[in-house]
Amino acid sequence: MRGLIQGRQLLISTLIDYAAEFHGDTEIVTKTVEGPIHRYTYGESQSRAKSMAKALAGFGVKLGDRIGTLAWNTHRHFELYYATSGMGSICHTLNPRLFAEQLTYIVNHAEDKFLFLDSNLVPLVEQLAPTFESVEGYIVMTDEETMPETSLPNALCYETLIKENDDDLEWPSFEETTASSLCYTSGTTGNPKGVLYAHRSTVLHSWAACMPDVLGINSRDTILPIVPMFHANAWGIPYAAAMAGAKMVFPGPHLDGESVWKLMDQEKVSFTAGVPTVWLMLLTYMRETGTTLEHVKRVVSGGSAVPRAMIEEFEEKHDCRMIHAWGMTEMSPLGSVGTFKAGVGDLPAQERYDIQVKQGRGIYGVEIKIVDDDGKELPRDGVAFGNLLVRGPWICDSYFKGEGGDVLDADDWFDTGDVCNIDAQGYIQIVDRSKDVIKSGGEWISSIDLENAAVGHPEVAEACVIGVPHPRWDERPLLLIVRDPGSQIGKDEMLTYLEDKIVKWWMPDDVLVVEELPHTATGKLLKSQLREEYADHKLPTAGEAAE
């Protein structure tokens, strides 16, 4: 028997309509690409999204067409999220930090019909445009005054299109399972693969993000998403914020510590989200200038592991709670979030940090389990670790155009490629990427744990641990560190520091001081490159083999 309840479709356009109707005066603030601050409201944003949707329809854009965006976090990018998906086309966000060949591959693979780009990315796109096979026109996201001279074919100015099209538009209705947006994984090996989100998955994910035990996004919040809108839709925040009617603050391309701090201070930001690298820049700025965060209460960090020292500094010096979250592009991306269960908040600080440093606990909507290499489920005792599998209504079931083949097992579980343990309370701890874990004499060593321990040293700015071949143990850990300016810390001091922080057999066999470490386009350590670079590194312990 079917329930007698309306089957209204869960569409992305309903989010901006809600925000405009019930939070029409709530502000959206942008530090623009060109520099000045821009302010307007959800009401104006919805109206302009509709004008842009009409402009796209005028260009012949149809249901399912891919529209590329190569853009920073701004109000125009926000409008495009709604204009493109609202009219039934697919918002394909592109990461400007990718290698040129990857951008070419992705645009051609997605068959983007139009490409929207920020004005400071015009030179990059001018170089690449001849390699794009499907793009019919380029829209520069700026106004007529700042529209740059460009050799791009069929280049148009964003604000001209807004002016030329009124907002007299009813969003079309279609099946909620229709594709809404597309984001390619950064792909450290092989070609990037496209994750194709749907209207339904996006709305459900937004609902989850607003839950108090998830991100708790609400209408009293002022939100600064530093995580880029081209990285898993800024973790879904532009949708969830509209669902809640929260004030939004967009940083444009200005992500250095000073710019971020100023924006937080001026706009009284209460909630922010980004990767640890960004927090490192912000904390360094605040240390150097003796400033603090007056209004920020929640700092969500994901994308890579948060060092404990960072959680402590935010809390003890700035009275901000760091909420550690884990997820991936394939998961829309939220998978687990480190909000407190009853009682956790009352624990002594150090015991609480033991929990906060984990990647959070399962949230409604994402089923999780850990299995060994034979697929046998492992206990949730906080010790046993294995491959992390997930399934749920916002987790991908295959990649765009079937790349990579079947990615689910017979019961719909998706293998995340992460290795973790789960404790009795349901908090997960990522031990490693399955390909980064160091296999030493048949046992596993977590490179993330070692890195966290190393960056706990006050003079270590960044650390990376990789496994290098060892004649006796298969692999042993090599620690690479970037020192703080002025620091003289070297191998001996580092190893002494680690002595009481890790078990003996995890001790790195060598420590090298490097100027910098390579990162992927989404800010993760590029370990594949380092493994190649140090494949022949002779560990001082390698001689043991001969004994």
Nearer to ligand AMP, 303 or 365 (CB): 303
Query: Out of 329, 421, 429, 446, which residue is the one contacting ligand AMP (CB under 6 A)?
Result: 329
Does residue 324 belong to the site contacting ligand AMP (CB under 6 A)? yes
Query: CB count, 10 Å around CB of 500?
Result: 7
Does residue 416 belong to the site contacting ligand AMP (CB under 6 A)? yes
Q: How far is the CB of 243 from ligand AMP (least distance, A)?
A: 22
Does residue 421 belong to the site contacting ligand AMP (CB under 6 A)? no
Does residue 430 belong to the site contacting ligand AMP (CB under 6 A)? yes
Does residue 328 belong to the site contacting ligand AMP (CB under 6 A)? yes
Does residue 358 belong to the site contacting ligand AMP (CB under 6 A)? no
Query: Out of 418, 449, 462, 475, which residue is the one contacting ligand AMP (CB under 6 A)?
Result: 418
- Residues 1-20 interacting with ligand AMP (rule: CB under 6 A): none
Cα atoms in the Cβ-side hemisphere of radius 13 Å centred on 445: 26
Does residue 429 belong to the site contacting ligand AMP (CB under 6 A)? no
Q: Which helix (H) or strand (E) holds 283?
A: helix 276-289
Catalytically annotated residue among 136, 146, 444, 544: 444
Q: Which helix (H) or strand (E) holds 38?
A: strand 37-41
Query: Out of 161, 182, 209, 232, which residue is the one contacting ligand AMP (CB under 6 A)?
Result: 232
Identify whether 189 is a catalytic site residue. Answer: no
Residue with tokens 């071949």: 469
Tally helices (H) and strands (E) across the chain: 16, 25
Which range in 221-229, 297-305, 369-377, 525-533 contacts ligand AMP by CB under 6 A? 297-305
Contacts of 31 (CB under 8 A, 6+ apart): 37, 250, 251, 252, 254, 259, 263
Grouping H, G, I as helix, E, B as strand and the rest as coil, residue 18 is: helix
Q: Binding string, 501-540, against ligand AMP, x = CB under 6 A?
A: ---------------------x------------------
Nearer to ligand AMP, 120 or 528 (CB): 528
- For the record, the structure tokens of 20 come out as 């405009």
- Residues 431-450 interacting with ligand AMP (rule: CB under 6 A): 433
C-beta separation of 223 from 239 below 8 A:
no
Nearer to ligand AMP, 43 or 426 (CB): 426
Catalytically annotated residue among 185, 202, 272, 339: 185
Which range in 205-213, 250-258, 322-330, 366-374 contacts ligand AMP by CB under 6 A? 322-330
Identify whether 163 is a catalytic site residue. Answer: no
Q: What is the layout of strands, in order, in the sheet containing 66-70?
A: 155-157, 137-140, 114-117, 66-70, 90-93, 179-184, 194-198
Q: CA-CA distance, 42 to 15, in Å (whole number)?
A: 11
Burial of 211 (0-12, 13-18, 19+ CB in 10 A): middle
% helix / strand / coil in the chain, to the nearest 5? Answer: 35, 25, 45
Contacts of 160 (CB under 8 A, 6+ apart): 144
Considering only CA atoms, which of 167, 143, 166 is closest in space to residue 156? Answer: 143
Does residue 308 belong to the site contacting ligand AMP (CB under 6 A)? no
Q: How far is the CB of 399 from ligand AMP (least distance, A)?
A: 12
CA 23 to chain centre: 27
Q: CA-CA distance, 228 to 470, in Å (whole number)?
A: 39
Q: How far is the CB of 302 from ligand AMP (least distance, A)?
A: 4
Q: Binding string, 129-168, against ligand AMP, x = CB under 6 A?
A: ----------------------------------------
Q: How far is the CB of 389 from ligand AMP (least distance, A)?
A: 12
Q: How far is the CB of 329 from ligand AMP (least distance, A)?
A: 3
Residue 149 per-residue DSSP state? P
Which range in 241-249, 264-272, 379-387, 412-420 contacts ligand AMP by CB under 6 A? 412-420
Q: Which helix (H) or strand (E) holds 196?
A: strand 194-198
CA 260 to chain centre: 17
Q: How far is the CB of 328 from ligand AMP (least distance, A)?
A: 3
Nearer to ligand AMP, 302 or 467 (CB): 302
Identify whether 279 is a catalytic site residue. Answer: no
Q: Which residues of 286-296 are buried (b: 16+ CB within 10 A; e: fewer)?
A: beeeebebeeb
Does residue 305 belong to the site contacting ligand AMP (CB under 6 A)? yes
- The most distant pair of C-alpha atoms in the chain lies apart, rounded to whole Å, by 81
Does residue 297 belong to the site contacting ligand AMP (CB under 6 A)? no
Identify whether 491 is a catalytic site residue. Answer: no
Q: CA-CA distance, 290 to 285, in Å (whole number)?
A: 8
Grouping H, G, I as helix, E, B as strand and the rest as coil, residue 370 is: strand
Q: CA-CA distance, 362 to 383, in Å (whole number)?
A: 17
Nearer to ligand AMP, 139 or 305 (CB): 305
Query: Out of 225, 252, 302, 392, which residue is the one contacting ligand AMP (CB under 6 A)?
Result: 302
Considering only CA atoms, which of 469, 466, 477 is closest in space to residue 188? Answer: 466
- For the record, the structure tokens of 166 come out as 């009124």
Catalytically annotated residue among 21, 439, 532, 533: 439
Query: Out of 359, 387, 429, 446, which residue is the one contacting ligand AMP (CB under 6 A)?
Result: 359
Does residue 225 belong to the site contacting ligand AMP (CB under 6 A)? no
Q: How far is the CB of 195 from ligand AMP (least distance, A)?
A: 8
Does residue 235 belong to the site contacting ligand AMP (CB under 6 A)? no
Q: Which of the residues are catalytic?
A: 185, 330, 439, 444
Interface residues toward ligand AMP, by CB under 6 A: 185-186, 232, 302-305, 324, 326, 328-329, 333, 359, 416-418, 430, 433, 522
